[in-house]
Structure 1
Amino acid sequence: MNILQINSSARSEGSQSSRLAGSIVERLKAAQPDASITVRDLAAQPHPALDEAALGALFTPAEQRTPEQTARVALDDALIAQIQAADVVVLGVPMYNFGVPTQLKNWIDAIARAKVTFQYTANGPEGLLKGKKVYVALTRGGFYRDTEADSQVPYLKMVLGFLGMRDVEFVYAEGMAMGPEAEQKAIASALQQIEEVVAA
């Protein structure tokens, strides 16, 4: 089993979402000791945004690309290869201003490529990243689960499903900004959720 852990916090150190993602991986590893683990920290290894230069490179035929364009596409290719090889994907996702971090959006933009990770058919779009289990560790300062203010879960369900990843479990740590006691309670709740969803 190949496990890919994506930490999307803007902080390389002290990130609770990354710690919870790591706890999920540890639980998976305990059940599958021979599993291989790849960790990509998007703060330590930031991926460039999808800008005009990147679009130009992607839409230029490979044999016509400049060296700079080839190098830019290769950055996305590396992320695509990682997720294609993964059996399990674990995302650490804090909430920033009601959305996902820019770091995660850049990663999603990199791995979402027509005719590679999804394709359009006569029956509609088809995701090509099938057969993967996804765990998402969410950390929030307040309480947003199952409310209209939670834009993260609908977005992640939609975009992951679009790419073919429909088996997704969410773990919530909420109220993290409401004092030390509330933070401890949130982490304890999330760890309990991890035991339940990973064992399921």
Structure 2
Amino acid sequence: MEQNIVKSIIDIYSIPEHTTQILLRKFPGIGDKKISEIANEIEESKHQPLRRLLNGLGIPHVGKKMAQDIVQAMVSQQPVCLEDILYILTDRDFLITVYGIGDKTLDALVDYFSDQQNREMLMHLRDIGMKFTVDAGGYDLFKEKKETFSITGSFPFPREEIVAILEKEGYIFHDNPTKSTQLMLIGEKAGSKKEKAQEF
């Protein structure tokens, strides 16, 4: 990008600033309305749960499911601030208790959150309003039984929206159905996932 507006994740959160808005207007097709939309989306992203942030940091071997499992396990540690979270994510004794975690994932997490530059970046994000909400990935901690679901077929609204709504209500999303998947949402033109679910 010629203007070098975005060089790091921190730069993304400077877009609402006046000087950066002026630079954005120099790009074709970006006017006041688009800048306002970008600013609103960035502000909303500050309130994403920790599991989404973990998934988006680009840490090797940490995808959506692993990020969710890590945060679910963190709930019992009752972190109340970013410093607590950073301590937990570099605690090998804790990380080894996370279901499904392997040595490579554990090492990648400890290396990432021990790195001073990464720690300073996260602290800067906190200082400009980022929330690090430990919500267990939509798990309802007061339910003894966690309902799991998967989705196949097309719906009149985005799949991501369906997943977000159900996770907020305490359901656990399975990208691909397994024997432990309890609910299957079937839309029009359902694909192979429907047949796979019927096998279980």
What's the TM-score, normalizing by structure 1? Answer: 0.25
Structure with more relative contact order (C-alpha pairs < 8 Å, separation 6 or more): 1
Larger % of strand: which? 1
The structure whose Rg is larger is 2
